[in-house]
Amino acid sequence: MKLLQSSIYVEVLAMTGRINDILNRRNSLFILFVSVLTLIMLAGFALAANIYGTLDRDRDLDNLFRNYEVLQDHNYYVSGGYDRPNAILLIHKDYELDNPGNLWVPFPYVDYNQMRKWVYVISSEQDADRSGGYYAAYILDQDGKRVGVWYSVEVFTTVKFLAGNKIQVYTPELNQNSILSKFDESEYRF
């Protein structure tokens, strides 16, 4: 009887050892799988981070708009309406705006009078609406190089850098009609 118990004990011990070996191998494979998956995800995030730009708030840009200055080496675009834009976008001429859906309206020629008109309307809306005002910021690429200007009531946007010096800038998500219904258009003619 003792021999039988001893024999069963040895078999149970051997079986426990085999089960432990199997579990250790599975655990090692699981750890390896999770590690590889984590590295792939980190590499994907690193690549994705390289296509996004940032906004760099600059108070001097506010003065540029308030003084109706025009940057000749930039292309001008507006969103939200020709006369009353939600945003004014300037893209350096070394870059091209990727504009799916034509949500940004290009302005091939912007002068002092056009800037004055936009800023006058924007300032009037800010005073009537008591809003926080428009936000002026440089658009920076991944290396911190200035490639454009953002001027909008929105303090953020998404900027993507695509192949071939193309930039995609999301428009603000605003319902401008509710704001603009307060104003008489004849006030803004110059």
pTM: 0.65
List own/partner pairs for 73-77 with CB under 8 A and 24 or more apart: 74/148, 74/149, 75/106, 75/108, 76/106, 76/107, 76/110, 77/104, 77/105, 77/106, 77/107
Per-residue pLDDT tens over the stretch 22-76: 767 766 666 666 666 676 776 666 555 568 999 999 888 888 988 999 999 999 9
Confidence at residue 80, expressed as pLDDT on a 0 to 100 scale: 81
Locate the domains of the chain by residue range.
1-49, 54-188
Confidence at residue 19, expressed as pLDDT on a 0 to 100 scale: 74
- 28 vs 81, which has greater pLDDT? 81
